[in-house]
Amino acid sequence: MAENSALFRFDADAATGGGHAMRCLTLAETLETAGWTCQFAVGPGTLDTVVALAGRAGDCIELPGDVIGQPDAMAGAMVDGCDVLIVDHYGWSMAEETPCRDFAGRILVIDDLADRPHDCDILLDQSLGRRAADYTNLVPDRCKVLVGPAFALLKPAFVELREATLQRRAISRLERILITFGLTDPDNLTGRALDALADAGWDGATDVILGGGAPHLATVLETVEKIDMPVDVIVDADDMAGPMAAADMAIGACGTTSWERCCLGLPTMTLTAAENQRGIADALMDAGAVIGLGWHGNVDAARMALEIRGLMRGPERLQAVSAAAAEICDGGGAHRMMEEIGHD
């Protein structure tokens, strides 16, 4: 077995989005700074969706589309085994994890659903409001359960920018808005947000971040050309911390990027874009850390525009949201997880 080796199992595509991939890549980069070697077992479409993997094709094991056959395919590729298998996949549970004991010294599962049994030694759920007790009877007694945004997997740039950014947010202003609904945004909520800004009469700076594989990217670019508003579309951003630090407000969903926004105290108007985001959205709203508008199917551009106009008239509301968000996550989760993984 190779010393200090980790294998990550995740997928990314237009429907799944890139959240699983990005948090795994963040943890991998943190482990690599400590001398670990990392590989990635991914399903069809992942390499096309996640540009950050383009330069690491040699570290990737492309698996067949058959979910049942994936543990066997991974075992065949990992002839020397690995110290830790890190699984971040809603389609995996104990049935897929237990066969991996043949080649993995330990198993870490990253989850945020608490809805199925796992065979793992460490379980991470970075959701706000999650309790370790939520995984009772879902993991072995020996499993160490780590919960909450203190363990959120953020890149170092967020910690580096945190102090100066929070100081800047102490001044009430609304001059730049960031729109970010994930890597793929399958429902084109980006386009809805752009329509809302135009309807609200917004004439400040606007940044949009989307992945190159987003199914509605072309439509978004067409919308930008039509509206009378300065918009910068950033495709496949390799730096999320910079645009978030520069923005005075964001419009986005309640996925994994929630903790990045919290770390930088970025006040956000949110739509709940997927079923697995409902719990996160409720917890963030209860904490006063977002301006939550609810399920995306129930919120049209006119409703969003109404909220935006109110914030344009009274941007001081954003300060309270920013302060509440900043209390939730300090950005040190990746290093905390590296320490946990490093323990025998």
The DSSP annotation for 239-295 comes to -SHHHHHH-SEEEE-SSTHHHHHHHTT--EEEEE-SGGGHHHHHHHHHTT-SEEEEE
Look-up: residue for tokens 């496949």?
A: 236
pLDDT tens, position by position, 214-272:
999 999 999 999 998 999 999 999 899 999 999 999 999 999 899 999 999 999 999 99
Predicted local distance difference test score (pLDDT) of residue 1: 41
174: its two tokens: 């609304």
Residue 174 CA: distances (Å) to CA of 112, 243, 250, 259, 317: 33, 14, 10, 21, 10
Among 52, 1, 2, smallest CA distance to 60 is for 52
- Rounded CA-CA distance 65/47 in Å is 14
Predicted local distance difference test score (pLDDT) of residue 342: 83
Question: Do residues 37 and 5 lie in contact, with contact meaning Cβ atoms separated by under 8 Å?
Answer: yes
- Rounded CA-CA distance 273/91 in Å is 19
Half-sphere exposure of 110 (CA within 13 A, CB side): 29
Secondary structure class of 99 (helix, strand, coil) = helix
Mean pLDDT of 123-130: 96
Question: Which one of 3.40.50.1860, 3.10.20.340, 3.40.50.11190, 3.40.228.10 gives the CATH number of domain 5-154+331-342?
Answer: 3.40.50.11190
- Rounded CA-CA distance 290/320 in Å is 10
- Rounded CA-CA distance 55/32 in Å is 15
The DSSP annotation for 124-163 comes to EE--TT--GGGGTTTS-TTPEEEESGGG----HHHHHHHH
Q: What's the whole-number average pLDDT of the chain? A: 94
% of the chain residues with pLDDT over 90: 83
Predicted local distance difference test score (pLDDT) of residue 208: 98
**DSSP, res 322:** H
Could you say which architecture CATH assigns to the domain 156-326?
3-Layer(aba) Sandwich (3.40)
* pTM for the whole structure: 0.92
pLDDT tens, position by position, 274-301:
999 999 999 999 999 999 999 999 999 9
Per domain, the residue ranges of the chain are 5-154+331-342, 156-326
Question: Do residues 169 and 322 lie in contact, with contact meaning Cβ atoms separated by under 8 Å?
Answer: yes
Predicted local distance difference test score (pLDDT) of residue 344: 55
Q: Is the pLDDT of residue 2 over 80?
A: no
Predicted local distance difference test score (pLDDT) of residue 16: 84
Strands (E), 150-223: 176-180, 205-210
- Rounded CA-CA distance 132/117 in Å is 14
344: its two tokens: 């025998």
Question: In whole angstroms, how large is the CA radius of gyration of the chain?
Answer: 20
Question: Do residues 17 and 255 lie in contact, with contact meaning Cβ atoms separated by under 8 Å?
Answer: yes
Question: Do residues 40 and 7 lie in contact, with contact meaning Cβ atoms separated by under 8 Å?
Answer: yes
Torsion sign, CA atoms 20, 149, 59, 49:
positive
Residue 23 burial by CB count (10 A; 0-12/13-18/19+): exposed, middle or buried? Answer: buried
Please indicate whether the domains covering 5-154+331-342 and 156-326 agree at the CATH topology level.
yes
